[in-house]
Amino acid sequence: MSAAVPYTPAGTIHSANIPFNRKRVSPLRIVGTVVGYAVMIAVAAFTLLPFVWMVLSSVKNNNEIFTVPIKWFPEVWHWENYATIWSKANLVVWTKNTVVIAVAVTLLQVFTGSFAAYGFSKIKFAGRDLLFLCYIATIAVPWQAYMIPQFKMLSSWGLSDSLPSIILMQSFSAFGVFMMKQFYDTIPESLSEAARIDGLSEFGIYGRIILPLSGPSIAALGIITFTNAWNEYMQPLLYLRSPELWTIQIGLKSFVGEYSAAYDLIMTGSVLSVLPILVVFLFGQKYFIEGIATSGMKG
Amino acid sequence: MKSTKLTGAVAFVAAATMMLGACGSNNAAGDGASIPAFDPNAKTTITFGAWALSQSPEFTYLKEGFMKKYPNVTVEIKEYSNDNYEKQLTADLSAGKPTDVIPLKSMNSYYTYAVESKGLADLTDIAKSFDSKNLDSSTHELDGKYYGIPYRRDFWVMYYNKDIFEKTGVAAPDGTWTWDDYVKTAEEMKTALKKAGYGDDVYPTFTWNKKSFVQDFANNQSQKDPKASMLSGDYNYFKPYYERALKLQDEKLALDFNTLTSTKVTYQGLFGSQKIAFFPVGNWYTSALVSSQKNGDAEKFNWGIAPVPQNPDKSTNTQTDKPVTVAGAMGLAVSKYATGQKGAAAREFVKWAAGEEGALELAKNGVSPAYLSDKVTEAYLGAEGMPTDELSKKTITDFDTKVSAPVVTGKEISKITTLLNDAHSAIMTETTPIDQALADAGQKAKDAGVVK
Amino acid sequence: MSHSATSVAGRKPTNGGAKVIGSDNSKELNRAFQTVHRRNIRNGLIFIAPNFVGFAVLILAPVCSMFYIAFSEWSAFGDPTFNGLANWKRLAKDDLFWASFWQTLYYAVVHIPLTLAIAFGLAVLLNTKLKGRAFFRTAAYFPYITSIVAAAQVWNMMFDPNSGPINQFIRVFTGGAAPGWLSTTQWAMPAVIVVGTWREVGYFMILLLAGLQTIPTELYEAARVDGANGWQQFWKITVPMMRPTLFFVLVTMTIGSFRVLDLTLVMTAGGPGTSTMVIAQYAYRVAFEEQEFGYSSSVSLVLFAMCMIVTIIQFVYNNIKEK
């Protein structure tokens, strides 16, 4: 039970595989662990490098950022950049708007998406696959191909310069349905069958069996939806005009436009814009780490 | 089930098409005739599009100036994105919901907005009400009609750091430079900088990574009829200008294109921190430079303005008795959807902003207005922080843009502009030889059917 | 325990209704089938409805309008005018379109396997009891949450041919020779791919990880008892069990690669020249710089067709494999 997944890093894709096994500690296993850590550290360094650069730039003097050759550490640490930005940028308002959008989109997307996904995954009805293909098909259409008709529609409802327009556009994207459906497909059919035989209604099966089992995937969908909504740039850009409705991305972009030379502050803003998602991620990932892995089949 | 599905699908497509149709026909807009006379006593609110307010304070100056004159009219600024203004405006016009007063940021899409969107009001009467000696509106004329009135005109000049010239002992610009002199001075400056103890990060000059830097000068300074040349499909005349631009980056007289693109360093940052000695840019930079020297974003040093270098090739030179430069006009338009007093107030606003009173508001704050008169020039030269030496004064008042701007209206030109942008990037990254890149652009323009 | 193992790995998902058929008493069964059938439709629609209503109005309807616009001339203003095949004739001869077409394929063909391999590898690794895995998980997801503008900025500097750390590192091994990356037509696309992979690996890793965690550990234990080694377990349990998740990941990854836009927009703007111009960017440019929304929709429709062809192949293959 203790070894959740029996692979070494090296064996995952290409070469030799050494199953982890608590009972015999072979030299190979130690090598595997060492290689595993080496890989992880290399990957972490690679992925974090630009972020580290961003953080370091945010405490530099503006002239120190673009030097040739690249200079990693500032001569003097300008922590005051973090104080300055609050007076120059309306970060509180931007953050508030972005939180409203991201939370609303995440809730709507997770709720309606997982509900619909159950219909697509566990109930067999005529036209299901076709309808589902329709959903996937819309993912394949680039937004810029239909943004003008969509904009016309939403502004004819008087929603063009408003937060609900952004929330509406993102909440019903096919993405969440598709993703949850695929996760539900992973849950063995035998579970819902058994429940049907026991006389449970579809809603009962969804609420009492499937939903509790899909914790990790709901956490994943939630995190991803939240991140996407947080980082969405084009839609707020096209729709929002009033500065009091701006999101972080729009605000940052406009900040870049206004202080085009102030890269220290731009980097400070970027760092601050990432922090909230980081918190959400750290919070959310706890759930899907402690997921169902071992208890799923007990029912 | 099959039939239900089919009906559903049909209903759906129908709904989608209806939606398109419904949205397309929302042009219940007023035309000139139904707009009442402006009543200064009526309480009216008009919206005014703007961008990057702290960087472009002129919108606020105009708003406040107008509201001071007409206290019953409220001007409400809607802030657009600086970089994506035109995309947002396209969407707004498409949905029939633009602001009442619409700034026209670039001439590139003026034709589309004016002719195809049908969302801009006809302002011919306002254009005609100005004397062409004061206000040249010809940039915005389309078949005898005007949908925009220029309120601001920027032209290219050369900024130079007087302190650096003094310290290095290189002869400062005297207003007679050709582009050959410009390159020669850059070379001279390079060695002089080293001798004077400047670091490796100080460059003699700066080449903007936008194509306008090379191509617009070639258009205006070496072509009798820039628009015809742009439509000719033969872009060989850019070559001497590109050779000089490449020479500047090859000899490290200016930061190279790749570094500029990848690091996104800006001329504001470089000139402001005394990392460039001289470089040409639009005179919109003046007010920004003055304010950044004031608030400490830029270092304090003496600078001046000189005319842009001229075409050294006598056979193609278009210079008259005045130096030829490049200018861009920015116009104001009125939404066709603004009716009643709103429409009247919006028109009054445009008329006021483009006229002498608006021009004075701009000029005294260091923004160069389109309206010209002695009073305006005096206000502009007297703006705070404006250099006061003779050459700078002469540069600002005495120049020729030949055709007042490289008129870039019409569908063909916007296609060609995109192609020439690609050519510019190919040449300046030195991935394609000049001849080939220019020939490719011509060929692609022919393939697209925009030139003969 | 073993019951669930076989039922999971060995059978495609069916449901109660479908299972009853196949016995003798056909009339009665038929009626029962009808009831189940109707009930399934009703239940299915109830589940789907809350999402579908919003989806149909807000997304599907505007998307459908694209199909009409793609056969029209339209400058975003007024009504599109139907112009038949004119856009398509122009498309066939449009060099820039074809260049962007091939560049999109180039991006997809390299980016997809690379990202999938690394993401899957990481997911499997991070699904173990490795110490500090929470940190690594966060680290891997970091690129995805970093603003793309900031990311492009940093990478552009790191790719600097002369002073960038990447080339300084490469020169240690090659003794001076190093690619020009974003300043050359040959190396610009590889650089974009590197950044694209960097950005998306963590994202797909999260999805795959969530999928991995739904696999019951008992399966592996049973397999181990049967003497299967890690490699066999991977192919016999992990991959089949992960098929729905893999399908999702592959489809979204393919579509995402085909319609990549923001990355090239902020990193290279399609350059140098047009060497990193991809289809989505071309459509974007035609629409917003040349104000030709009709022609742009035709370009988007090609993109759509490419995505759908690959998706349907994956869909069919997936359905066959599940049986």
Asked if C223 contacts C233 with a C-beta cutoff of 8 angstroms, the reply is: yes
Contact criterion met (CB < 8 Å) for B268 and A260: yes
Over residues B239-270, the pLDDT tens digits come to 999 999 999 999 999 988 877 776 667 788 78
C273 touches chain B (CB under 8 A): yes
Question: Which residues of chain C are within 8 Å of residue B3 when distances are taken between CB atoms?
Answer: none
| A122: nearest Cα among A206, A21, A7, A26 | A206
Predicted local distance difference test score (pLDDT) of residue A216: 77
Are B32-154+327-397 and B155-324+406-447 equal in CATH topology? Answer: yes
Give which of C214, C246, C298 to mutate to test A binding, by max A Cβ within 10 Å: C214
Asked if C266 contacts C192 with a C-beta cutoff of 8 angstroms, the reply is: no
Give DSSP secondary structure letters for A180-204. Answer: HHHHHHHS-HHHHHHHHHTT--HHH
User: Which residues of chain A register pLDDT less than 70?
Assistant: 1-25, 62-63, 65-70, 257-262, 287-299
> Nearest-CA distance from C203 to chain B in Å?
26
Q: In chain C, which residue's Cα lies nearest the Cα of A2?
A: C129
The SS3 call for residue B132 is coil
C156 touches chain B (CB under 8 A): yes
pLDDT per residue rounded down to tens, chain C (323 residues): 334 333 333 344 444 444 444 456 777 778 877 887 788 888 888 888 888 888 888 888 888 888 888 888 888 787 888 888 888 888 888 888 898 999 999 999 999 999 999 999 888 888 877 777 778 888 888 888 887 777 877 787 778 777 677 887 888 888 778 887 887 778 889 999 999 999 899 889 888 888 887 777 788 888 888 888 878 888 888 888 888 888 888 988 998 899 888 888 878 777 777 888 899 889 888 888 777 888 989 998 999 999 889 888 888 888 887 76
Contact criterion met (CB < 8 Å) for C51 and A116: yes
pLDDT higher than 70, residue B18: no
Residues 361-420 of B with CB under 8 A from C: 411, 414-415, 417-418
Contact criterion met (CB < 8 Å) for C230 and A11: yes
pTM score of the predicted model: 0.79
Predicted local distance difference test score (pLDDT) of residue B272: 86
Over residues B35-90, the pLDDT tens digits come to 888 888 889 999 999 987 776 778 989 999 999 999 999 999 988 887 788 888 98
With pLDDT > 90 as the criterion, what percentage of chain B qualifies?
31
Top CATH class of B155-324+406-447 equals: alpha beta
Give which of C145, C241, C288, C297 to mutate to test A binding, by max A Cβ within 10 Å: C145
Over residues B190-206, the pLDDT tens digits come to 999 999 888 888 899 99
Helix pair C185-212, C239-258: axis angle to 10 deg = 150
Predicted local distance difference test score (pLDDT) of residue B33: 52
- Fold for the domain defined by A85-289: MetI-like fold (1.10.3720)
pLDDT higher than 70, residue B183: yes
- Fold for the domain defined by B32-154+327-397: D-Maltodextrin-Binding Protein; domain 2 (3.40.190)
The SS3 call for residue C62 is helix
Predicted local distance difference test score (pLDDT) of residue A260: 60
A130 touches chain C (CB under 8 A): no
Q: Could you give all domains of chain C from N- to C-terminal order, each with its CATH number?
A: 11-69 (no CATH), 85-322 (1.10.3720.10)
ipTM associated with this complex: 0.77
Helix ranges restricted to H, chain C: 2-10, 16-20, 26-55, 61-69, 86-92, 95-126, 133-145, 148-158, 165-174, 185-212, 217-225, 230-233, 239-258, 262-267, 279-288, 293-322
Q: State both tokens at B289.
A: 């430079």
Q: Taking CB atoms and an 8 Å cut-off, how many pairs form between chains A and C?
A: 380
Strand pairing category for B141-142 and B145-146? antiparallel
Place of tokens 């939240």: A226
> Nearest-CA distance from C307 to chain B in Å?
21
Q: How far apart are CA A151 and CA C62, in angstroms?
A: 9
| A62: nearest Cα among A272, A271, A273, A268 | A268
Nearest to B95 among A66, A155, A253 (CB): A155
Asked if C222 contacts C1 with a C-beta cutoff of 8 angstroms, the reply is: yes
Nearest to C156 among B13, B263, B432 (CB): B263
Predicted local distance difference test score (pLDDT) of residue C116: 93
**Most confident option among B115-119, B398-402, C198-202:** C198-202
User: B touches which chains (3+ CB pairs under 8 A)?
Assistant: A, C
Q: How far apart are CA B381 and CA B59, in angstroms?
A: 20
Give which of C6, C59, C201, C260 to mutate to test A binding, by max A Cβ within 10 Å: C59
Give which of A34, A47, A62, A238 to mutate to test C binding, by max C Cβ within 10 Å: A47
Residue C312 neighbours by CB under 8 Å, 6+ apart: A133
Q: Taking CB atoms and an 8 Å cut-off, how many pairs form between chains B and C?
A: 119
The SS3 call for residue A42 is helix
Predicted local distance difference test score (pLDDT) of residue B264: 66
Q: Where do the domains of chain A lie?
A: 1-58, 85-289
Predicted local distance difference test score (pLDDT) of residue A291: 44
Q: In chain B, which residue's Cα lies nearest the Cα of A250?
A: B81
Predicted local distance difference test score (pLDDT) of residue B221: 87
Q: Where do the domains of chain B lie?
A: 32-154+327-397, 155-324+406-447
Question: Which residues of chain B are within 8 Å of residue A238 when distances are taken between CB atoms?
Answer: 87-88, 91
Predicted local distance difference test score (pLDDT) of residue A22: 46
Question: Which residues of chain B are within 8 Å of residue A257 when distances are taken between CB atoms?
Answer: 51-52, 55, 81-83
Residue C237 Cα to chain centre, angstroms: 23
Question: Which residues of chain C are within 8 Å of residue A296 when distances are taken between CB atoms?
Answer: 214, 216
Contact criterion met (CB < 8 Å) for B84 and A237: yes
Place of tokens 């309807």: C61
